[in-house]
Structure 1
Amino acid sequence: MYRYTLLFLYLILMLGCELCYPSPTRGKVFHLGIGLSYAGTDVRVLRGTLNDAREQRKAFSSLYTERSFTSIMLLQEGLVCSDGSIGYDKTTNPSLPTKERVLSALEALVEDMDQDDLLIVTYSGHGHTDGSWVLAPSYDDGKIFTDTGELDESVLLSVQELSALLGQARGKVLLLIDSCYAGAFITESDASLSAIPENPDFLYKLYAAYFSKQEREAPFFVMAATTRDNTSKEPHYGSPIHGYFTQALLEGLGWDEQQQLLVTRKEYLDLDKLYHFVCEHQKIPTEGENPVFYQHPTITGGAMSLVLDY
């Protein structure tokens, strides 16, 4: 008991309030919303992704009314043809989220950021088994699969590519990912304050987490809909339909979709709190025997959490 007391006192004296949360700032907020329905392509159509992207944009816009807020939306919706069929919207959609457009938008936002700024990137769409985002194809026919049945490499934006780009940002970056295998963006760690169970070595794990160079220098924060080995789901019915993860996330932000307003909160909001809210309120189990019937959100590890509002 004596060693824990000494360690605790040392942490308090050396770290103060910085232990849990980085100092919040009032810099500019940038937002990039990416959503794909895959209508008109050769992969399964998703019904909730466009709703996810649009409502997240509204929620964050309302959350940051007192700060400079800039939002870019890249959406793939499909094209209603004259015969009533759904075609691919390559030639009619200037905001189609192709890999080239997504990278171009991210590069411009990262370049505009200062140290006190925050960049929020939301992605709602299909995820490849390695976590890569499946973006809109550059071909007029909307084909995502090749003749050999493989995903075309030109539509995949990998974890490594995104990490390298976002790692150049001078401010803070938050990725909110609602896609299958999104946990591939999360570095394996037992150091997150969100994940530490009660055990005798709690203080030592806390100490190790705080002084871990890898965790302290992580280029961005991530909250993902599921683990690296599981899929992300959306309900079959409802109006409007949202992914289970995004629905809970919107509620955690305080967004009332019916009234189109943000519910007033009495205390600050940070990423750890939002994560716990999602885990407790998403309308699908977080664990089970069959991965088809559950999904568990994941969050970046480390001793600090991102302050979103206060």
Structure 2
Amino acid sequence: MRKLILLMLGLILILSSCELYMDEPEMGDVYVISIGIDYKNNQSDTDDLNGTIPDAKELFHTIMKISERAEQPWKGYLLLQEGDSHDPITLNSYEGEGVGKVNYASRDHLFDTLIAISNQATKHDLTILTYSGHGVDKTGEMVLAHTETDGQVSSINPMLVAPEDLLEAMAAIPGRKLIILDSCFSGVFVPESESSLSTVLVNGIDDWYAKFWEGSGYNLPDLYVLTASALADSYEDPDSTDHSHGVFTITLLEALGWNHPHGVDISTIEPGTPPALRGSVITVDSLYTFIKKNQNLPIRWNILKPSQEYQHPLVSGGAMDMVLFRF
């Protein structure tokens, strides 16, 4: 009887563990797409953003350095719209992949990049896409850079990237994938799975309960989404004036060991030991856990401080976790 009790306790501990890791993946190449848009060349009502360009550039640089430290070859695509230029040369700038090359952050350039990666990547590779920019109220669509040579944008519809379109394009890429979004209402991008519903789009506790008991097993997903917020706004760091970041992204950078003094060339900086490191690996969950514990804004609304801003990051994956880097 004692052996049976111990066996049952062991099974309970295993099944109730907060994380289930995927099988040890073979670590292949790393593909990185970092998107930052400040909207300053948009002669319309779109608000300018100050932290998005530093977000994209520094995430790009940090992930590259971590890939090198993990001895994983990498290929990078930096898609930016920075400043007020909207001449044809700027709008059509697209140089493909390469270190330090900057391509214009239009919708077409994004999907051209995803197609290029899908034609190159293998099942052992890792693709990380980061986006810092606007998200559409309630629906979450990413707002990419416009392509009007006079800067006058009558409609943002040609600039929008819907969640289902991005998820479909990323899913077509072989290997492991991670989407990181620092934008308002970005939780809409967190996908449903056979074993889970969207906590953003589905509000009924009865639906969640039924899904839990319907008998579906956990799959091993190869596409994860990490977002700055649920169905709410995301914010830029209120304490930054001359070197701004998104609240979510600055904490993500800290999780990856990044410390960028203002005015220092980022190419000369090496990240420190990532605080999100768990043993010898960085995982999606280790990043998410660090952000929730350390971001400058609270993660939930406080009835005692109703005017205080809050921001709750989300992650997909359920009980499953995915290894990103192994050292």
**What code does the residue aligned with 1:122 have?**
T
Q: Indicate how the Cα distance of structure 1 residues 5 and 262 shifts in structure 2: closer, same or farther if over 3 A, else same.
A: same
CA distance in structure 1 between the aligned counterparts of 2:250 and 2:33, rounded to whole angstroms: 18
CA distance in structure 1 between the aligned counterparts of 2:152 and 2:108, rounded to whole angstroms: 16
1:77 aligns with 2:82: yes
Task: Write out per-residue CA displacement over residues 71-93 of structure 1, whole angstroms, 9 at most, x where no aligned residue.
Answer: 011100123xxxxxxx4355325
Q: Which runs of 4+ in 1 moved over 6 A?
A: none
CA distance in structure 2 between the aligned counterparts of 1:292 and 1:111, rounded to whole angstroms: 46
CA distance in structure 2 between the aligned counterparts of 1:244 and 1:89, rounded to whole angstroms: 32
CA distance in structure 2 between the aligned counterparts of 1:141 and 1:294, rounded to whole angstroms: 37
User: Tell me, what secondary structure is at the counterpart of 1:251?
Assistant: helix
Task: Write out per-residue CA displacement over residues 79-109 of structure 1, whole angstroms, 9 at most, x where no aligned residue.
Answer: 3xxxxxxx43553251211111111011111
**Percent of paired sites with the same residue:** 32
User: Tell me, what secondary structure is at the counterpart of 1:309?
Assistant: strand
Task: Write out per-residue CA displacement over residues 25-54 of structure 1, whole angstroms, 9 at most, x where no aligned residue.
Answer: 220000011110000212100000000000
Q: 1:40·1:89 contact (CA, 8 Å) conserved in 2?
A: no
User: Tell me, what secondary structure is at the counterpart of 2:39?
Assistant: coil
What's 1:293 paired with?
309
**What code does the residue aligned with 1:131 have?**
G
The Cα of 1:270 is off from its aligned counterpart by 1.0
CA distance in structure 2 between the aligned counterparts of 1:245 and 1:10, rounded to whole angstroms: 34
**What code does the residue aligned with 1:32 have?**
I
**2:128 counterpart (101, 117, 120):** 120
Unaligned runs of 5+ in 1: 80-86, 196-204
CA distance in structure 2 between the aligned counterparts of 1:62 and 1:89, rounded to whole angstroms: 33
Unaligned runs of 5+ in 2: 94-102, 200-208, 262-267
1:138 aligns with 2:147: yes
User: Tell me, what secondary structure is at the counterpart of 1:25?
Assistant: coil
Q: 2:22·2:220 contact (CA, 8 Å) conserved in 1?
A: no
Normalised by the length of structure 1, the TM-score is 0.80
What's 1:97 paired with?
105
Give me the CA root mean square deviation: 3.0
What's 1:283 paired with?
296
User: Tell me, what secondary structure is at the counterpart of 2:104?
Assistant: coil
Q: Indicate how the Cα distance of structure 1 residues 212 and 240 shifts in structure 2: closer, same or farther if over 3 A, else same.
A: farther
Aligned pairs, number: 277
CA distance in structure 2 between the aligned counterparts of 1:288 and 1:45, rounded to whole angstroms: 26
The Cα of 1:166 is off from its aligned counterpart by 1.4
User: Tell me, what secondary structure is at the counterpart of 1:187?
Assistant: coil
What's 1:54 paired with?
57
